[in-house]
Chains A and B, each alone.
Chain A
């Protein structure tokens, strides 16, 4: 009996350990506007290429090239080795869901595809809120707080460290993901970071360090 009890204890401690350090901060309500936070997300049609340095909590990881293509309701993404071999390619459409076009092992796990697309959507797509509040989180940064129908909460800090930050919380108000942009530059109505750091929290915590290689604004281009 001791082993299951010990396992549960470790599990509970683990869960507590994940949620406690990053609880949802109190939002001190204030005046605000959607447009503050809309600039965080690229508007219209864009293509981005990043180097992505992926690392797990134990320090293991690797570096790949990531492509993200945004076109209205459609997001396409791909991961490649530095040698140019495509490891993963998928398209997400809001109405139709996720379509995996190519997935080379070990990237053929459905959970990986879902997790990757969730990361991509967190960075590039504004949440679809049931309710929006404005104010200052923890009494500091201006914040737009989007509450979803599923209980998830997304805090967008549009002016943090010269760029922006996004934090998503689960229904239990524990932090799921944080994204910090740096070296932002203004492109039309959008703020494009030269560097992004995404942290995924939970039992399998990980970090993606994304350095922008190229950004193409396709809104004003005539495509073949």
Chain B
């Protein structure tokens, strides 16, 4: 279960887009636009990893595709090509090794199953019901997730979600691991509610 936080963090990137609509309905900070029922999201992302021992961040680029209820393709293009696929309860991960995309069989799929169960909660906008994180709204357009469990807090101190102007979309995620260490993801080129072929979630 200790690998779970990473996976939880990963899924936040996908699952959060449904939040603003629900937040608005509760009168909480969020987008001023009309809520959108999200069926699918596609976007590019720019990831920056900051470490205390590193002067310049490590920059990664990629894209993701999500389709409700539980289909995901999370793909890095640089610096290492890798693809995480989730569909119909099955999870697979491929990583480039010596120029070839090979399946990473070392993944803890039991943890992945737990995370999949969590996804439906995020999609339904149930942030306050989350068993893992305390949710707060420190400022307009920002959601702050703080781990409830000490074990999880040792790995992730908090996650900050920056909401976009358009309802149902997320601009940026910052995962704080500890002093001087964080990962930020900025999203662009977003497309919502487009029909996605199943093969996107099943084939590398």
- Which residues does chain B contribute within 8 Å of A39, judged by CB atoms? none
Task: State in angstroms the CA–CA spacing of A51 and B114 once bound together.
Answer: 29
From B3, B53, B55, B98, contact of A78 by CB (8 A): B53
Q: How far is the CB of A171 from chain B (nearest CB, A)?
A: 33
From A60, A81, A213, A218, contact of B79 by CB (8 A): A213
Q: Is B58's beta carbon under 8 Å from chain A?
A: yes
From A60, A62, A78, contact of B95 by CB (8 A): A62
- Which residues does chain B contribute within 8 Å of A104, judged by CB atoms? 2-3, 155
CB atoms of B6 and A69 under 8 A apart: no
CB atoms of B183 and A85 under 8 A apart: yes
Q: Is A67's beta carbon under 8 Å from chain B?
A: yes
From A84, A209, A213, A214, contact of B183 by CB (8 A): A84
Chain B 99-132 residues near chain A, CB threshold 8 A: 104-106
- Which residues does chain B contribute within 8 Å of A65, judged by CB atoms? 49, 58, 79-80
Chain B 161-182 residues near chain A, CB threshold 8 A: 175, 177-178, 181
Q: How far is the CB of B147 from chain A (nearest CB, A)?
A: 14
Contacts A62-B104, A65-B79, A82-B80 given; does A47 touch B6 at CB 8 Å? no
CB atoms of B51 and A86 under 8 A apart: yes
Contacts A78-B53, A104-B155 given; does A85 touch B9 at CB 8 Å? yes
Q: How far is the CB of A132 from chain B (nearest CB, A)?
A: 31
CB atoms of A85 and B6 under 8 A apart: yes
CB atoms of A80 and B49 under 8 A apart: yes
Q: Is B97's beta carbon under 8 Å from chain A?
A: yes
CB atoms of B181 and A86 under 8 A apart: yes
Chain A 36-62 residues near chain B, CB threshold 8 A: 47, 49, 51, 53, 60-62
Q: Which of B79, B155, B183 has the most CB of A within 10 A?
A: B79
Interface size on B, residues (CB 8 A): 32
Task: State in angstroms the CA–CA spacing of A223 and B9 once bound together.
Answer: 32
CB atoms of B80 and A218 under 8 A apart: no
Chain B 2-60 residues near chain A, CB threshold 8 A: 2-3, 5-6, 9-10, 47, 49, 51, 53-56, 58, 60
Task: State in angstroms the CA–CA spacing of A84 and B185 once bound together.
Answer: 10
Task: State in angstroms the CA–CA spacing of A84 and B178 once bound together.
Answer: 13
- Which residues does chain B contribute within 8 Å of A221, judged by CB atoms? 55
Q: A105-B3, A223-B55 are in contact. List 14 more A-B contacts (CB 8 A).
A: A60-B105, A62-B95, A62-B106, A63-B82, A65-B58, A67-B58, A69-B53, A77-B53, A80-B49, A82-B95, A83-B6, A83-B9, A84-B49, A218-B55
A→B interface (CB under 8 Å): 47, 49, 51, 53, 60-63, 65, 67, 69, 76-78, 80-86, 89, 91, 102, 104-105, 209, 213-214, 216, 218, 221, 223
14 contacts between A and B (CB under 8 A): A51-B80, A53-B98, A62-B106, A63-B96, A65-B58, A67-B51, A76-B53, A82-B60, A82-B76, A82-B80, A83-B183, A84-B58, A84-B183, A104-B3
B→A interface (CB under 8 Å): 2-3, 5-6, 9-10, 47, 49, 51, 53-56, 58, 60, 76, 79-80, 82, 95-98, 104-106, 155, 175, 177-178, 181, 183
